Structures are given as structure tokens and as C-alpha cells.
Amino acid sequence: MGYIQSWRPNFPENLAQKLPNLVELYLHSNNIVVVPEAIGSLVKLQCLDLSDNALEIVCPEIGRLRALRHLRLANNQLQFLPPEVGDLKELQTLDISTNRLLTLPERLHMCLSLQYLTVDRNRLWYVPRHLCQLPSLNELSMAGNRLAFLPLDLGRSRELQYVYVDNNIHLKGLPSYLYNKVIGCSGCGAPIQVSEVKLLSFSSGQRTVFLPAEVKAIGTEHDHVLPLQELAMRGLYHTYHSLLKDLNFLSPISLPRSLLELLHCPLGHCHRCSEPMFTIVYPKLFPLRETPMAGLHQWK
């Protein structure tokens, strides 16, 4: 086990050779610019703290730290995370707050043990809907970003109990699955220039709420017949996902790539009947004050 608090801007390539059994490595506040590829050789590492440095890139080799449980990268200059972060199956805590991230890697949903995800004070404008599939996520904090919408299925997991989206000034609505969770959403709801955002929206009274970018059509409660494409997608989903539990039998050319990807991860699920939605959604706006957790919310 090791605890290293003071270091030089670039730590040595042979760290794994000198400390092969290292379990904890704390290198916060050292003005570190580069993490060498050799970091991937610390196969027993469980806790890595690189917060408060000058990192601009995290090398893909970090995905080789299969025993890693806690990763702290807050207060750096990161613009993206490598997809290999999704290989960290034991990861429980990920703190990447106060960086320059525009989005999160879709493969992050493969971190099956992830319980606490903190992405405050970045530049996120959307959240990959695949994150709704994180089976162990208990707390998600995305305060102080640029979010205008959230994935429709966010909160559908029973494990997710705490969601903080404070100070996303363009965020005007929350998925209905969040309404029985503990939510922080103060400082949300400022006007947004529609001409600058190519998103579908729906209105209720004087409030207009934007939908995720993947949504291409909006239905109403008066629609009695689903579009043919939606019916076909639901049929495929129920037949092959529910019965065979495997979609790999479909060749990459059997469906357009966008539809094939939707079979793996639908746009969302109906709050009333739990049916998956692929090409069309049926939104309805509920005032936050009518929700069970209204006393814990501050909507401005």
C-alpha cells in the first residue's frame, strides 16, 4: 500500500516495477500534466486520486486497472474520458467534477459496480441514455453544466435515489421516473434560444420543455395507432430481447445502424405501461409541486 502526496509534474514510468503491490495512490495537488501508459501495470490499485492537477488527457491504459474502485479526477483540464473507462468493472466511485467535459463515454454504462458518479461543473450538454442502464448507480450529480434535457429513462432503476442537476439553467423538465427520488434542481429553467438548439419540444401552459436529441417524433394521447416503424421495433424488441436475451444474432446490415442501436437501448420506457419507445414519445408535463418529494425540491 502506498500514500504519495508530493510529486513532480510527471511521475516515473517504472512506478509499477518499484511498487507492484500498490493499492492506494494519492497524487492530488501536484501539477501533474501527463499520466504515463505504465499506470496500467498497477494491477492491484484500488484507489487513484489525481484531483487538483493539470491533466488534459487520461491515457486508455487506465482501463487495465481492473481492481480499481475509486477514481478521482476532479479539478483538472480534461475534455474527454477514454472509452476504456468502461472496462473498470469494480469501479464504485468516479469524480470528474470541475473539468471541461462535453460528454461522457457511452461505455461508462459497463461499469457495473459504479455507485457514485459526480460530473459537476463541466460543459455537458447531454447525457448518454446508456447511463440509465448502470445497475448499481445510487447517486448522480451533474450540477453546473449546460444540460437542456435528461434521458427519458433516468431514474427508472430502483438503485438510483439521488440526482442533482442544480444550475443547469436551460433544463426545464425532469423525467417522470425521477419524481420519487431525492432531486436537486435549483437554478434551472432559464430561457433558451430555440434557434440555437435543434431539439423537439412540447409545451404546457407557458412552459416549453425540450426532449432528448434522439427523439424524432412526438405523439399525443389521442393517437390510437402507432406508426408502423414503432410497431415493428417493439415487435423485434419483445421477440428477441425478452425471449432470447440476445440481439447479437442480428447482422450489422439487417437494420440501419441507428435502429439496431435503439434495440439495445430504447429512447425510454412509458411511465404508465413500461413499454419501450423507439421512434416516438408521448410526453406529459406534471408540476413538480404535485410529486411526493416536492418538499425537497427548489425549482426556480
The whole-number pLDDT of residue 293 equals 45
Q: Determine contact, residues 35/12, Cβ cutoff 8 Å.
A: no
The whole-number pLDDT of residue 185 equals 86
The whole-number pLDDT of residue 191 equals 63
| Strand 268-269 with 276-277, pairing | antiparallel
Q: Which of 48, 49, 45 lies closest to 20 in space, CA to CA?
A: 45
Distance between CA atoms of 84 and 86, rounded to whole angstroms?
5
Consecutive 10-residue averages of pLDDT for the chain (300 residues):
54 74 90 87 94 94 96 96 96 98 94 98 92 95 93 92 92 85 83 58 70 77 77 80 62 69 80 80 66 42
**What are the Cα distances from residue 113, in Å, to 35, 176, 267?**
24, 25, 23
Task: Give Cβ neighbours of residue 208 (< 8 Å, ≥ 6 apart).
Answer: 172, 201, 202
SS (H, E, C) 252-290: CCCCCHHHHHHHHCCCEECCCCCCEECCCECCCCCCHHH
The whole-number pLDDT of residue 113 equals 98
Q: Can you list the positions of beta strands (E) in 50-148?
A: 70-72, 93-95, 116-118, 139-141
Task: Give Cβ neighbours of residue 4 (< 8 Å, ≥ 6 apart).
Answer: 25, 26, 27
The whole-number pLDDT of residue 17 equals 80
Q: Residue 85, SS3?
A: helix
